[in-house]
Each structure stands twice: as C-alpha cells, then as structure tokens.
Amino acid sequence: MSMTLYVGSKRYSSWSLRPYLALAHTGAPHETKTIILDQPTTKAEILAVSPTGRVPVLHHNGLVLWDSLAICEYLNEQFPEAQLWPADGVQRARARSISAEMHSGFAALRRDMSMDILASKPGKGHTPEALADARRVQTIWREALAESKGPFLFGAFSIADAMFAPVTTRFITYGVDLDATLRAYVDAVQSLPAFLEWKRDAQGEPELPNH
C-alpha cells in the first residue's frame, strides 16, 4: 500500500499542514514529498502530481486526491480506527461544521496574517478584518473547549484541530492576544510530535520573500 502526500513549503503552506497532521495521526505508513513554492519550476512540479496545480495532493494506490478537507475525509474513511472525527454524532456534526467554516472562510486572516511558522511579527497584520476573523476563531475554540475540556477542540485530536492548526501558528507569529484557555489549546497543537517534525523540516527550507 503506497501513500504519498505532496505538500508545499512547510514554512508557508497552511493548506498542506492540515492533511499532514491528520495523516500522521493515523500512524499509516506513508511518504511526504515537499515542493518548494514560488520557484520557476514550482508550477510544473505541482502539475506533474496534482491536476489542480495546487498542493496538498495525496496519491494512494493509484488514486489521486486533492484539497485539504477532502483528503482528511478520505483518511478518516480509510483509517476508521484513528477516529479522525469525534465518535459522538452531535460532536462530529459540530466538528465538520467548524472545519468547513475554516476551509471556506477567514479570508482576511489568511491574507493579512499569512502562515510563516518561523517568523515573529507581533502587531503586524492586525487589520480590523483580520482581527474580526481572529475573534470568530477564538469564539469557536472557546465554545468547543468549554464543552470538551480540551486538550483538543473535541477532547481527543480530530480533523477540526488539523484544520485550525495553521491559525495557531498565525496567532503566535502575529502576536494575537489569547487568554489562558486558548493559549493552552495553541500549546497542545504546537506540541504535537507531527507539528514539531513539520516545523523542524521547515527550518531547512529557503525563505520566500513574497510570503
């Protein structure tokens, strides 16, 4: 069974980080291949493996799957024992709802506080629109954590945490204020072994001035 996840530069590719964390959580054997973004050859390299010309893309036994959330859903179906969604139906519905909101929304947060997990830019990107997005994210987290008691949004790690993982790095990079509960959640995500591996790999990648 051969499974390869193609990702973009780990320092910057927020969409790639999401299925990377979900895949790591399954414990399934796999390979990750990184395509450095913003190079003259980047588009051709991505198009050679992904029909959309975007990463992440998963290759599994001849099947080619793209888009972060669809890849996470596929992993959940392939590896049910990993419980990538909460077991409880109501919690699962909520987890899917906030994951979809993350996937389709928060444009200002993504634009003004783009992911750069190695950088520290406190106070930058604090536009009214990005801060409004940040407040909405914090409400989502606060409500989920109040019910689950943590350490992750629905207690155990789920796809919802994978979907919000890039936001945890943005809040750190751009110095967004967090109360103790939210800070503990950010720390839980940032302490995941797979996240630490991702960050370590990012340190060996070239800095991209346009990000």
Interacting residues with ligand GSH (CB under 6 A): 8, 13-16, 37, 42-43, 46, 54-56, 67-68
Query: What are the DSSP E strand ranges found in 61-135?
Result: 63-66
The least CB distance from residue 115 to ligand GSH, in Å, is 8
- Which residue, 5 or 37, has its beta carbon nearer to ligand GSH? 37
Structure tokens at 121: 């830019």
The least CB distance from residue 108 to ligand GSH, in Å, is 16
Q: Position 16: which residue type?
A: S
- Which residue, 56 or 86, has its beta carbon nearer to ligand GSH? 56
The least CB distance from residue 194 to ligand GSH, in Å, is 17
Beta strand pairing call for 63-66 and 57-60: antiparallel
- Which residue, 26 or 34, has its beta carbon nearer to ligand GSH? 34
The least CB distance from residue 103 to ligand GSH, in Å, is 6
Cα 70 off chain centre by? 13
The C-alpha atoms of residue 120 and residue 154 are separated, in whole angstroms, by: 29
The least CB distance from residue 195 to ligand GSH, in Å, is 16
- Which residue, 16 or 32, has its beta carbon nearer to ligand GSH? 16
114: left (phi > 0), else alpha (psi -120 to 50), else beta? Answer: beta
Q: Position 153: which residue type?
A: L
- Which residue, 67 or 73, has its beta carbon nearer to ligand GSH? 67
Q: From 172, 169, 129, 164, select the one nearest 145 (Cα to Cα).
A: 164
- Which residue, 49 or 156, has its beta carbon nearer to ligand GSH? 49
Is the separation of the CB atoms in 142 and 136 below 8 Å?
no
The least CB distance from residue 34 to ligand GSH, in Å, is 11
SS3 24: helix
Provide the angle, in degrees to the nearest 10, between the axes of the packed helices 14-26 and 193-202: 140
The C-alpha atoms of residue 83 and residue 77 are separated, in whole angstroms, by: 9
